[in-house]
Structure 1
Amino acid sequence: MGYLLRNCDFVITWINNELRILRNVDIAIDNGLIVNVGNIARGTYEEIDCSGHAVIPGLVNAHTHTPMSLLRGFYDDAELITWLNKMWSVERELTRDVISLGSELSIIEMVMSGTTAFIDMYHYPDVTASVALRYGLRAALGPTFIDTLRSPALVENELRNFLSMYGDSSLIRPIINVHSIYAVSRDTLLRIKDLSNELNLPIQIHASETRDEVYESKRRFGMFPVEYLNSLGLILSKTQLVHLGWVTNWELSIIAKANARVTHAPTSNMKLATAGHFPMRELIDMGVTVTLGTDGPASNNSLDMFREMKMAVLLQRHSYWDVGIKAIHAFKAATINGYKLLGLNGGCINNGCVADLVLLDLSSPRLQPARDDNILSNIVYSADGSDVDMVIVDGKVIYDRSRDYPVLRERARNIGERLNDFIRKFL
């Protein structure tokens, strides 16, 4: 039996790549897909009262390090390289049990704040995947190549095992994670290219995040990071480049020509003082798929994609000195573009779209007054994750605030206490 969301006040969707706002309509869901939107007759559906709600497509956190909630607030006031070295000193001591707890804490936060899918980069991805499946979230993840911590041969073996475990999953998508050009060798990068082709897996990599990274790349290779990756055949349509705060103008053409995907993580970049500028407007104008991520809960420190949409717009306006980047651009990056990155027909509320939906409580003062002309602005600039009443993924209700809120809050508190026991030895 599917669901019928009855009498939704607002439905915000994409039709033919244009934003549409529908009023007072029903949404029928069957077998994980949206099968009808409009005025729908009663049938065999289980009905959900959608009155008093705005329905939006699920939000995709296109780049994060999910288990790092265990390090939230641990070493907040340092620049990136100093901060990374401190993180790595703890991460060398992580166990599967600790990873499981950190993953669960983050996934609880994401579920409660309207994220329906996330793209992850961290150790023990099978542990995070199992927690995501338990809560019903979509996730794209896989072992991370980082030569300074683990042997590439060991990571490759883990990748093959991970693919055999989750290659047929409807919710888990295996990917190849690469930390950065400064954390892996040229030989490792070439092997990653071969693995991507052999296994038909996408690649996620941090690139041009800091000025030091760009200068060091130019010194060592005679090229900037995107140029260097391209010289190795690694700028592909299945490549996801994260950060790009110090990317050059001519590298944008390389990205666009390859139809590579990019991810902006504005809050983390500001917090870690990486400076530079993510050229969102230029990338959009060139037809590049721009997505949005929080980065990890140790560098953000929130996983709330509503906050991230607002931060993306504000940082772009601050950098450009104009209002060319608008709410619609951030909303598109967080919804339909995120699903393009995942290779799914999602981020939309139309017939045939995957049934990944978020119901927002219109009685929230942050969403009032609500009208056709301001509802999107309210969602991007004013709403936050606490306005989420219900989350549906793959046609299943995975979060109902009226039922799940106290249970998840208590579970999060218990996890926090156990993680504190682990972290205290590093203080």
Structure 2
Amino acid sequence: MEVFNKAYTLKNCSFILDSEKILENVNIVIENGKIKNVGNETEGDEIDCSEYVVTPGFVNSHTHSAMIFLRGYYDDNELQEWLDKMWEKERTASRKLLKVSSELAVLEMLSSGTTAFVDMYFNPEDIVELSQQYGIRAAAGYTFLDEIFDPEEVAKMQGRLQETKLFKPIVNVHSVYATSEKTLLLAKDLAEEENTWINIHLSETRKEIYETKLRKGKFPVEYLQSLGIAKFQAVHLGWVASWEIEMLKNSIAVTHCPTSNMKLATAGAFPFYEMLNSGINVTIGTDGPASNNSLDIIREMKNAVLLQRHSYWDTRIKALHVFRAATENGYKLLRIKGGLIKEGYVADLVLFNKNDLYPLKKDRILSNIIYFSTKENISKIIINGKIIDKETLRKRIYEVSKKLNEMI
């Protein structure tokens, strides 16, 4: 139903849930891609929402979309050996293969309720195109990785990316161990020129912090600060030092990727609770489809709670913490007024089939979504007011996956 350029109403939503509230049997009026009213009002076309639980859209704050062609390749190996094998394959990957892989990733993420994502890979021009084609929000950029790409060439290509209604250019830096100080300073200047942020893997392994300390006399977060790099998104942080948390207050966000950290045996512990208490914007990412191997943000929220409780030996991290990280905090990272179901916020929403979330009780809705639900319980996704049907996505996944299978 093409209703997204005028007002329409999701009428009698069984429940709506965001990080601030749970409401029962209310309407959501949407106009020009934004939420106009939440309550009893109706306007324009009326869409029966009585069979659905509505949440904000989810933000996958860190992934490597095109790595779908590497899903299942060289699994069960630790990070450095695994990375060497990935880089070996990536050097010979064709543009067409990367685009098909990214298209599949976008379709998969939409299917699990992801309405926006932050991508670190080598084909951001495809992400610009795919964001327009499928209506998903995205942030991406070319990746500084000295072993594979000339940094000056990366900077030139980055300058060609233009912001659109759905796409934001960002500066991707693989890591402090895979880029020189000169490259880091180049990335810093570029991010400042483009008024964007640096997205970087940081303090991911014990080896990384040991070698950074040995070479630079500082731990990774300290090292970035010494270079004057402040506007960055730090991903992983399993080995961040306690005194570095204070330094991260000036960062754009930190991103927890629990599943890939466990799969690649990077160990350490992402200090979720301490960062929250320090006022740092904590977000959630799946990481890539080769290191996870899923792009399902719902699974990731559950795994985040479980890993945190395992690390802390207690239950201080709650379902609400990870739900907020995947919704409200993700939109804050993207500098978009979203992630909450309230007037003036972007109409990025996920509609869950209420009968799948049993027992259907108001005080159990959040728990059921985090600990029990799967992407199969999602019926529709709305981005910028545009309604996307799950069955349409499923059919397209089958079509594109056939292309991928023929190419590998």
Interval of TM-score (by shorter of Structure 1 and Structure 2): over 0.9
Tell me the residue number matched to 1:51.
50
1:4 is aligned, of 4, 9, 12, to 9
The answer to whether the 8 A contact 2:197-2:252 is kept is no
Asked if the contact 2:233–2:251 (Cα under 8 Å) also holds between the matched residues in 1, the reply is: no
* Post-superposition offset of 1:259: 4.2
Corresponding position of 1:90 = 89
Shift of 1:199: 1.7
- Cα displacement string for residues 240-288 of structure 1 (whole angstroms, at most 9, x for unaligned residues): 00000000001111112x2441000000100010000000000001110
Q: Which residue of 2 aligns with 1:307?
A: 299
Pairwise CA RMSD: 1.1
For residue 35 of structure 1, what is the amino acid of its counterpart? K
* CA-to-aligned-CA distance 1:31-79 (integer Å, 9 cap, x gap): 11100000113x3x22211112110000000000011111111121111
1:185 aligns with 2:180: yes
Q: 1:223 & 1:25 partners in 2: Cα distance? A: 53
Residue 421 of structure 1 and its aligned partner are, at CA, apart by 3.7
Three-state SS of the structure 2 residue aligned to 1:241 is strand
Say yes or no: does 1:372 pair with 2:373: no
Q: Secondary structure at the match of 2:270?
A: coil
How do residues 112-123 of structure 1 correspond to structure 2 at under 5 angstroms? Answer: 112-123=111-122
TM-score by length of 2: 0.97
Q: Among residues 389, 394, 404, which one is paired with 1:419 in the alignment?
A: 404
CA–CA distance in 2 between the matches of 1:400 and 1:416?
19
Structure-1 separation of matches of 2:116 and 2:137:
4
8 A contact 1:96–1:127 mirrored in 2: no
Distance 1:192 1:303 in 2: 28
Residue 400 of structure 1: CA displacement? 1.3
- Cα deviations across residues 168-196 of structure 1 (Å, max 9, x unaligned)? x1100110000000111001111111112
Matched AA of 2:8: Y
The residue that corresponds to 1:239 in the other structure is 232
Q: Which residue of 1 aligns with 2:36?
A: 35
Alignment of 1:1-400 (within 5 A): 1-14=6-19, 19-41=20-42, 43=43, 45-162=44-161, 166-167=162-163, 169-234=164-229, 236=230, 238-256=231-249, 258-364=250-356, 367-397=357-387, 399-400=388-389
Q: 2: CA distance between counterparts of 1:197 and 1:132? A: 24
CA distance in 2, matches of 1:259, 1:241: 8
* 1:184-225 Cα distance to aligned partner (Å, 9 max, x none): 100111111111212211110000001111111011111111
Kindly provide the amino acid, as one letter, of the partner of residue 389 in structure 1. Answer: S
CA distance in 1, matches of 2:375, 2:160: 35
Q: Distance in 1 between matches of 2:46 and 2:68?
A: 36
Asked if structure 1 preserves the Cα contact closer than 8 Å seen for 2:13 and 2:52, the reply is yes
CA distance in 2, matches of 1:207, 1:100: 27
Shift of 1:420: 3.1
> Aligned to 2:289, what secondary structure does the other structure show?
coil
Aligned counterparts of 2:103 and 2:252: Cα–Cα separation in 1: 31
Q: Amino acid of the residue matched to residue 14 of structure 2?
A: D
**Structure 2 gaps, min length 5:** 1-5
Letter in 1 for 2:11: R
Residue 3 (structure 2) aligns with? none
Instruction: Give the superposition deviation at 1:13.
Output: 2.3
User: Percent identity of the aligned residues?
Assistant: 53
Q: Secondary structure at the match of 1:83?
A: helix
- Tell me how far apart the structure 1 counterparts of residues 115 and 58 of structure 2 sit (CA, whole Å): 6
* Aligned partner of residue 180 in structure 1, secondary structure: coil
TM-score, scaled to structure 1: 0.92
- Counterpart of 1:413, as a letter, is Y
Runs of 4+ in 1 over 2 A off after TM superposition: 407-423
Structure 1 residue identity aligned to 2:385: G
Deviations 1:4-24 (A, max 9, x none): 10000101124xxxx210110
Matched letter for residue 20 of structure 1? K
Q: 1:67·1:128 contact (CA, 8 Å) conserved in 2?
A: no
Shift of residue 128, structure 1, vs aligned partner: 2.1
C-alpha displacement of 1:93: 1.1
Query: Aligned to 1:355, what secondary structure does the other structure show?
Result: coil
User: Aligned pair count?
Assistant: 403
What residue identity is the alignment partner of 1:12? L
Q: Distance in 1 between matches of 2:64 and 2:46?
A: 36
Question: By how many angstroms is 1:99 displaced?
Answer: 1.1
User: Equivalents in 2 of 1:6, 1:355: separation in Å?
Assistant: 15
Structure 1 CA distance for aligned equivalents of residues 394 and 324 of structure 2: 30
What SS is found at the alignment partner of 2:15? strand
Residue 394 of structure 2 corresponds to 409
Contact 1:2 1:395 in 2 (8 A): no
